Each structure stands twice: as structure tokens, then as C-alpha cells.
Chain A
Amino acid sequence: MVLSPADKSNVKAAFGKIGGQADEYGAEALERMFVTYPQTKTYFPHFDLSKGSAQVKAHGKKVAAALVEAANHVDDIAGALSKLSDLHAQKLRVDPVNFKLLGQCFLVVVACHNPALLTPEVHASLDKFLCAVGTVLTAKYR
């Protein structure tokens, strides 16, 4: 699956519009993921996962920062996320299926907060982008 020039442009523009709210979006995506797909909590036994958790907020910021970084280097997501890819392969080893779940929740957050942003075309581009990020993060698993 390849990101077309239009996809890349849509992704950059979308993250431009999301701007400083990316941190909140990251935290809310995680919150929604934990509520909707409780099995994802198994990766965070060391976290306080209650509503408003500072740890979830902080982690959401990290997730958002990675997505923003990927969007800013959309021509070379693998390069931009190389260290994160190593981390996921060697240490975190989150099962690949979970990246789709977080991706779905991120799209829901965008839809809830900024429905006008999520035209069908942008929806398609963001979905592809999130898939690409997941693929990069699991690329070195085996």
C-alpha cells in the first residue's frame, strides 16, 4: 500500500489543522482504545488507566508526537520512525493487530472533534497513513 501524492498532501494538511491539539487527540485515542478494546490494557499493567490519568495523557503526547513526526516526513516514514520501530520490535513487542485498533480510535477522535476535516478523501488518506505507520512499527518484528 503506497501513499499517493494526494494522500501525502491530505495527511500533511490534516495534521496542520489538528495542530497543537494532537496531544489531546493522542490521549483520547488511547482512552477510547482501552475502553473499546479492553485487551489492549494488557500492555499497560504498570499504568493508572483511570479516566484523566496523567500517565495516559503523557503517553498520548508521545503517540501524537510520533504521528506528527511521521506526517512531517511522510516521504520517509520508515526513516522517521526507525528508532521507534526498533523499540517496538525489541522491547515493546505489541502484537501487530493492535495498531489497527489504535488507528481506528484515532480516526474516531478526529471525527468527534473535527468532523469537517474528515471528508471521505481525507478519511481514506489518514487510514492509509495510519496503516503505513503500523506497518513501519512492526516491520522489524521478524
Chain B
Amino acid sequence: MVHWSAEEKQLITGLWGRVNVEECGAEALARLLIVYPWTQRFFDNFGNLSSPTAILGNPRVRAHGGKVLTSFGEAIKNLDNLKGTYSKLSELHCDKLHVDPENFRLLGDILIIVLAAHFTKDFTPACQAAWQKLVGLVAHALARKYH
């Protein structure tokens, strides 16, 4: 059972309220594909991923990024039950999508950097710690049903 302090919850929900989920999600996914190009292996059918510019402007990347981050929003509403929240998605990522869970950790790290760039001095060390804990737990929950 994960323990969240009141401060951690506030740091997460407080920041989340100020996040443009579509934009932030699009940027996070684009940066994942740019910074760790081998992650493009899951998106062969997304069209033009030939350069950072192409990736940043790719409408399918943007849409998918928004979808992924929207799912994060669900996690934030259910911080005390991440396992339950991600149970079906975990099965999907294992059985149908065949995604190595390491990729969830990579995306989590990228998301932290996107948030840092967006919120700058408001992204305090305590804030980073709370969010790094969250992305780690989300990655863990998504990997939990793998077999």
C-alpha cells in the first residue's frame, strides 16, 4: 500500500490543475521519440518520424501523447489505487502492445523534464520528488500484470 503524505498529494494535484494535458502530453511523447529514438519502434504506423521537427508536428504523436497524459489524470484522481486504475492498461500493454516496461520509466523521466521546463522555479525539489515518485509508481502499476 503506497503512502502519500498530504504535502505530496498537494504538490501533485496542485501542479496538475495548471497543466495543459493535450500540449504537455504531446510534448512529452514527442521528446520520448526524439531523445530515445528506439522508442519509435512502437509507432511505425504513425507516419513521418524522420526528424525532431517532423515528430513535434506529427498529429498522431500529438494526439497519442494527449491520450497517454489524460490517463495520468486518472491516476492522479486515484493516487491510493494506482494498481486498480492501471490493471486493464497493464494487460493491454503486455498482451496486445508488447511494450517493454522500461519505456514507461523513460516516458516518466521525460514528463518530469517537460514539467520542469514549463513550471521552472515552481518545480521545486519537493515537487520533483513527489512527481518522480508518481511516475515511478505509474510505471510499476503498468508493469504489474506482465507475464
Contacts and interface: CB of A to CB of B under 8 A. Distances in A.
B12 interface: no
B126 A108 contact: no
Contacts of B70: none
Interface in A73-106: 104-105
Q: Chain A interface secondary structure, helix, strand, loop or mixed?
A: helix
Interface residues of B, number: 23
A115 interface: yes
A32 B35 CA distance: 22
Given A32-B128, A36-B129, A123 B123 contact: no
Given A35-B126, A120-B34, A108 B116 contact: yes
Q: Chain B interface secondary structure, helix, strand, loop or mixed?
A: helix
B56 A120 contact: yes
B31 interface: yes
A35 B109 contact: no
A111 B112 CA distance: 10
A48 interface: no
Contact of B123 (A35, A104, A108): A108
A69 interface: no
Contacts, number: 61
Nearest to A104: B109
Contact of A112 (B31, B34, B56, B116): B116
Contact of A121 (B52, B116, B118, B129): B52
B138 to A, nearest CB: 16
8 contacts: A28-B125, A36-B125, A111-B116, A111-B120, A113-B120, A115-B116, A115-B120, A118-B113
Interface of A: 28, 31-32, 35-37, 104-105, 107-108, 111-113, 115, 118, 120-121, 123-124, 127
Contacts of B35: 120, 123-124, 127
Given A120-B35, A124-B35, A107 B125 contact: no
A120 B128 CA distance: 20
Contacts of A28: 125
A105 B109 CA distance: 10
